[in-house]
Amino acid sequence: MSNQGPLDFKPPSVNGVEDPDLDPDGYIPLDLLLAGIEVVVPLWPSHATGPDDRDLLTVYFDQPGQPLIKIENIYKAADIKPQFVIPINASHLQVNGQGKLWYELLDTADHRSKSEPRTLTIDHAPVPMTLTPPGFLYLNLNGYLNCFTQPPIWDGIFVTVPPLTGFNPGDRLELQWRGYSSLNGSGVEYVRARKKIVNPALSDEDIRQGFKVIVAPYDVHIKPMAKNSSAVVRYRILRGRRLVGVSKIGVAKIDRKLPGHDLLCGP
């Protein structure tokens, strides 16, 4: 890529890839590595307007280990629209590593301008799917949360996320909570009880020590699990939009039936 001339435009965006201010490395999600990516170029100011005008748009992707990718498109006045989507085939996304993406524009008057480059990262490494599962505070010896749990479960249920060795500050963690009509996290799901808790940017302390979250409110996310039920939790970690890890599931048995009675405890 030549460094001559002004950088007139911001870097192009890529559908499904975070913008550079959120993910400077521009990790391409695995599903897009397999399907190909779409580069989005917004309409430039001095575009073709007359019947004889033409603009030449060239998108480049330069990555060590493979030939320079160069995709040219000519646009006339009738082709003008707010943005242009330029596909890059998955066959060009096979080499792991970083590359630079940018575009150049040659307008009707043969004035040449170009965008700033942005980094894209290709990584086909499989996503770890067996990270240490989340846990539950205050389970009894048999793995139950019940009428005798302290603090009471109608005040919320505490879930612990373990230390996250190997992950980075700023990674995003999403914890998913599900409720089931059995004691082992199977059978009929109480769909209404679903909950997602998001830590949008893990801190260094979160990674070194782990952290805890509370599942609440009780009426929505816990009360449906009345007797011989269970809660299942799992977390996943994302770096930008790229999935980088998924945990095993953690299971807690939940039973609000009072011993020797058909009555349930709790509000």
Structural domains of the chain in order of their starting residue, each with its CATH number:
7-122 (2.60.40.730), 135-255 (2.60.40)
pTM over 0.75: no
Backbone angles phi, psi at 119, to 5 degrees: -85, 135
Sheet strands side by side (includes 135-136): 135-136, 157-161, 211-215
Backbone angles phi, psi at 147, to 5 degrees: -65, -20
Percent of the chain with pLDDT over 90: 80
Nearest Cα residue to 102 out of 113, 94, 89: 113
Task: Using pLDDT thresholds of 50, 70 and 90, give the confidence band for residue 108.
Answer: confident
Number of neighbouring beta carbons within 10 Å of residue 76: 16
Task: Using pLDDT thresholds of 50, 70 and 90, give the confidence band for residue 21.
Answer: confident
pLDDT of the residue at 30: 87
Residue 225 to residue 215: CA distance in whole angstroms? 13
Q: Are the beta carbons of 164 and 237 closer than 8 angstroms?
A: yes
Show the CA angle centred on residue 199, arms to residues 176 and 156, nearest 5°: 55
Report the pLDDT averaged over residues 121-125.
92
pLDDT of the residue at 266: 86
| DSSP string computed for 142-166 | TSEEETT-SS-GGG-EEEEEPP-TT
Residue 136 to residue 114: CA distance in whole angstroms? 54
Task: Using pLDDT thresholds of 50, 70 and 90, give the confidence band for residue 132.
Answer: very high
Residue 131 to residue 162: CA distance in whole angstroms? 9
Higher pLDDT, 110 or 15: 15
Task: Using pLDDT thresholds of 50, 70 and 90, give the confidence band for residue 12.
Answer: very high
User: Rg for the chain (alpha carbons), in Å?
Assistant: 26
Report the pLDDT averaged over residues 114-131.
94
pLDDT of the residue at 240: 81
Nearest Cα residue to 117 out of 105, 93, 100: 100
Residue 161 to residue 179: CA distance in whole angstroms? 18
Q: What is the pLDDT of residues 25-42, one digit of tens each?
A: 899 988 899 999 999 999
* Run of H or E residues at 188: none
pLDDT of the residue at 7: 56
Report the pLDDT averaged over residues 226-242.
92
Residue 55 has pLDDT above 50, yes or no: yes
Nearest Cα residue to 174 out of 197, 201, 195, 157: 197
Task: Using pLDDT thresholds of 50, 70 and 90, give the confidence band for residue 259.
Answer: confident
DSSP annotation of 171:
-
